[in-house]
């Protein structure tokens, strides 16, 4: 199972990303595509920092109330992954990264991860 997932992540996903970037480049032009890739990287770094600090504040508040930190820790990990995906060039990675940095999306995903894998 893991081997197939890794094969998919390291072969199919980059091929799709490259295809989508080439399509975007032919639609908008190479300079606009480059600026979009650069812009999402900068936006990703800024959003990851902002959302990361927000999650850290929420984690501290939860700990002060005596609440278990598992969901907030997972939210922090999702912010990290979202930021990394936005810094990585690609259309799919940018869309996934943006989604992971949106608080409502994280709040929906994090409890499911904790419920599935424990915490």
Q: What is the pTM of this model?
A: 0.82
Segments forming the whole domain that contains residue 65: 2-117
- CA dihedral of residues 15, 17, 20, 25 (deg, nearest 10): -110
pLDDT at residue 117, as a whole number: 87
pLDDT in tens, 46-85: 888 888 898 889 889 988 998 888 998 999 999 999 988 9
How is residue 119 annotated by DSSP? Answer: -
- More confident of the two residues 32 and 62: 32
Q: What percent of the chain has pLDDT over 70?
A: 99
Give the chain's domain count.
1
Q: How far apart are CA 19 and CA 48, in angstroms?
A: 26
Q: What angle do CA 103, 55, 109 make, to 5 degrees?
A: 45
Give the number of C-alpha atoms closer than 13 A to the C-alpha of residue 46, restricted to the C-beta side: 6
Q: Where is average pLDDT lowest: 19-23, 25-29, 42-46? A: 42-46
What does the pLDDT average to over 33-43? 90
Does residue 3 surpass a pLDDT of 60?
A: yes
Residues near 100 by Cβ (< 8 Å), separated by ≥ 6? Answer: 78, 79, 81, 82, 85, 106, 109
Q: What pLDDT digit, counting tens, does each position of 62-72 carry?
A: 889 988 889 98
């Amino acid at each position: 199972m893991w081997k197939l997932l890794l094969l998919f992540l390291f072969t199919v996903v980059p091929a799709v990303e490259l295809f989508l970037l080439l399509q975007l480049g032919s639609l908008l032009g190479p300079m606009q595509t480059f600026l979009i890739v650069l812009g999402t990287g900068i936006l990703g770094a800024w959003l990851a920092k902002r959302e990361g600090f927000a999650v850290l504040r929420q984690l501290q508040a939860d700990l002060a109330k005596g609440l278990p930190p598992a969901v907030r820790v997972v939210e922090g990990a999702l912010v990290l992954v979202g930021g990394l995906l936005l810094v990585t060039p690609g259309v799919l990675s940018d869309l996934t990264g943006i989604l992971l940095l949106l608080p409502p999306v994280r709040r929906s995903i994090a409890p499911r991860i904790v419920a599935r894998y424990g915490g």
